[in-house]
């Protein structure tokens, strides 16, 4: 039997109406067997996510302050779903248990996890599917480290015998604490881990957008969804800040090459975005897949005659960044100069010290620092076979009077990275997007 692990995000399960859409989607395809859920998200602009309210309750309780009124918001969210869907579940007692646990000083992770826990109980009841608690499946060594083997075995053992199940996302049990959570948005990771352990044919990630857009819609309102993107392309774009799925979710899926489909609960007929292993994607000669970028990088430009003949030069240079705990993002080089590009959030006031250490250890002819750069990645697996892509990008930037400060191309040849001044960031993204425009579609 085909197996789909389907994860529904907070906005897909924010109220009873959304639950109805989700039920219809699940029942439409028997392969949708293992359902992972988030806590109820925002129902409209200005609304709150249940997870945020739970964090607030825990915060107040930890300062011995009253949280009854805020907790009533959580009660109202779940009871309205239970009432509108006429569920038989005794949600009042469950809510009371959660309230008491928070009042008794339960941990931050425990309190937050109850959002997913209760939503999964509701959906399981509504679908008539068994509920399986994530604490039985996902095992953490500590907050940011999973016990991979134990988790995989638990999932296989507990879920394989079941035809279907609803599982809360976002949390698991800790080695020394009852509950630990992934970082925010972590239900995506739960779904990915399940898909990997169960050797699923597909991982569906249901959200409130019809796929992963080819550019940030706040800059390019007409940006189209990318119909297909490879894992490597996704990595390049997510590193540059484009997000639609939790970054960590990609790693378990990549292991066995399980394809992912991003889909919209409010528009279930839209194709969405299909994310596939690199070697299975249709080629896209002549096209780019998408672009993303981030502001606030600094560039250290180091000049030294005959630097390329000194075998120890790069090691010494990089050790300065290592000892200052600054990860290097890019390092384009010429014969007698190299630029080290790093994010300001890591440099964080250490620029002068780094330049000084470079002078001491590497004896360069000069070191210059430029702040305030934005980096843009133009990503496309078709680039490797195509002439003229960079020409089109650079012409678009020149036509829009944008000065290019840095150019680099990854060795996999699926991306071109361009550095511009922070102030040119949005115009540059728009100029590049419109230079390809309709051709962004497959």
Instruction: Give residues in contact with ligand ASP (CB under 6 A).
Output: 10, 38-39, 49, 51, 115, 169-170, 184-187
CB nearer to ligand ASP: pick between 116 and 227: 116
Least distance in angstroms from the C-beta of 41 to ligand ASP: 7
Residues 60 and 430: their CA atoms lie apart, in Å, by 44
Strand ranges (E), 304-414:
337-343, 366-379, 406-409
Helix axes 389-399, 425-436, angle to 10 degrees: 130
CB of 7 to ligand ASP, least distance (A): 8
Note whether 113 and 179 are within 8 A (CB).
Answer: yes
Pick from 393, 400, 405, 398: nearest CA to 436:
393
Rank residues 58 and 187 by Cβ distance to ligand ASP and give the closer one: 187
For residues 185 and 211, which CB has a smaller minimum distance to ligand ASP in the complex? 185
Long-range pairs of 14-19 with CB within 8 A, sequence gap ≥ 24: 14/40, 14/41, 14/42, 14/43, 14/47, 15/40, 15/43, 15/77, 15/80, 15/81, 15/84, 16/80, 16/81, 16/84, 16/85, 18/265, 19/81, 19/85, 19/122, 19/123, 19/126
Q: Which is nearer to ligand ASP, 49 or 284 (CB)?
A: 49
Torsion, Cα 79 81 84 85, to 10 degrees, reads: -120
Closest to ligand ASP by CB, 186 vs 290, is 186
Q: If DSSP codes are grouped into helix, strand and coil, which group holds residue 395? A: helix
Instruction: Tell me, rounded to whole angstroms, the distance of Cα 109 from its chain centroid.
Output: 20
**Residue 307, CB-side half-sphere exposure with 13 Å CA sphere:** 22
Q: Report the C-alpha gap between 103 and 99 in whole angstroms.
A: 6
Between 248 and 296, name the residue whose CB sits nearer to ligand ASP: 248
Q: How many CB atoms lie within 10 A of CB 20?
A: 13
Cβ at position 76, least distance to ligand ASP in Å: 18
For 138, counting Cβ atoms within 10 Å of its Cβ (0-12 exposed, 13-18 middle, 19+ buried), the class is buried
**Burial level of 317, CB count in 10 A (0-12/13-18/19+)?**
buried
CB 52, min distance to ligand ASP, A: 7
Closer residue to ligand ASP, CB minimum distance, 51 or 147: 51
CB 194, min distance to ligand ASP, A = 14
CA atoms of 132 and 281, how far apart (whole Å): 34
Least distance from ligand ASP to the Cβ atom of residue 77, Å: 13
Residue closer to ligand ASP, measured from CB, 246 or 405: 246
Q: What value, to the nearest 5°, has the Cα angle with vertex 106 and ends 103 and 109?
A: 130
Nearer to ligand ASP, 15 or 233 (CB): 15
The answer to whether 151 and 119 are in contact (CB under 8 A) is: no
Q: Minimum distance between the CB of residue 119 and ligand ASP, rounded to whole angstroms? A: 9
- Name the residue nearer to ligand ASP (CB basis): 185 or 225: 185
- In the bound complex, what is the minimum distance in angstroms from residue 168's beta carbon to ligand ASP? 10
> E strands along 350-421, which residues?
366-379, 406-409, 415-421
Residue with the CB atom nearest ligand ASP in the bound state: 187
Q: Do strands 32-37 and 165-168 pair parallel, antiparallel, or not at all (unpaired)?
A: parallel
The residue (of 134 and 432) whose beta carbon lies closer to ligand ASP is 134
Q: Least CB distance from residue 108 to ligand ASP, whole Å? A: 13
Q: How far is the CB of 383 from ligand ASP (least distance, A)?
A: 33
Q: Shortest approach of ligand ASP to residue 412 CB, angstroms?
A: 30
For tokens 């006031």, the residue is 349
């Amino acid at each position: 039997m085909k197996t789909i692990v389907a994860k529904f995000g907070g906005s897909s399960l924010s109220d009873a109406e959304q639950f109805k859409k989700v039920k219809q989607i699940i029942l439409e395809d028997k392969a949708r067997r293992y359902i992972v859920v988030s806590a109820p998200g925002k129902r409209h602009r200005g609304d709150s996510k249940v997870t945020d309210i739970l964090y607030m309750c825990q915060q107040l309780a930890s300062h011995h302050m009253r949280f009854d009124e805020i907790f009533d918001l959580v009660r109202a969210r779940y009871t309205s779903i239970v009432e509108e869907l006429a569920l038989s579940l005794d949600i009042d007692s469950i809510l009371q248990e959660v309230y008491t646990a928070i009042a008794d000083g339960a941990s931050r992770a425990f309190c937050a996890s109850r959002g997913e826990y209760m939503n999964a109980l509701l959906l399981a009841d509504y679908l008539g599917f068994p509920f399986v608690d994530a604490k039985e499946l996902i095992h953490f060594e500590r907050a940011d480290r999973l016990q991979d083997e134990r988790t995989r075995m638990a999932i296989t053992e507990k879920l394989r015998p079941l035809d279907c199940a609803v599982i809360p996302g976002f949390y698991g049990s800790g080695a020394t604490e009852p509950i630990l959570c992934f970082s925010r948005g972590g239900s995506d990771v739960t779904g990915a881990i399940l898909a990997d352990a169960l050797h699923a044919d597909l991982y569906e990630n249901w959200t409130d957008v019809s796929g992963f857009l080819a550019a940030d819609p706040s800059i390019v309102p007409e940006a189209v969804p990318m119909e297909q993107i490879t894992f490597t392309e996704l990595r390049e774009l997510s590193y540059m800040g484009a997000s639609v799925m939790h970054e960590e979710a990609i790693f378990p899926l990549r292991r066995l090459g399980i394809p992912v489909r991003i889909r919209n609960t409010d528009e279930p007929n839209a194709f969405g975005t299909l994310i596939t292993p690199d070697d299975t994607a249709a080629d896209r000669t002549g096209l780019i897949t998408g672009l993303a970028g981030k502001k606030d990088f600094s560039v250290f430009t180091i000049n030294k005659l005959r630097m390329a003949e000194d075998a120890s030069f790069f090691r010494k240079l990089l050790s300065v960044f290592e000892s200052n705990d600054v990860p290097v993002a890019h390092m384009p080089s010429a014969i007698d100069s190299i630029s080290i590009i790093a994010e300001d959030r890591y440099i964080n006031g250490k620029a002068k010290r780094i330049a000084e250490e470079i002078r001491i250890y590497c004896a360069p002819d000069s070191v210059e620092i430029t702040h305030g750069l934005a980096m843009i990645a133009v990503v496309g697996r078709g680039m490797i076979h195509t002439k003229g892509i960079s020409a089109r990008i650079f012409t678009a930037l020149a036509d829009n009077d944008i000065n290019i400060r840095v150019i680099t191309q990854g060795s996999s040849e699926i991306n071109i990275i361009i550095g511009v001044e922070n102030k040119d960031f949005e115009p540059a993204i728009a100029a590049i997007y419109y230079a390809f425009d309709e051709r962004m579609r497959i």
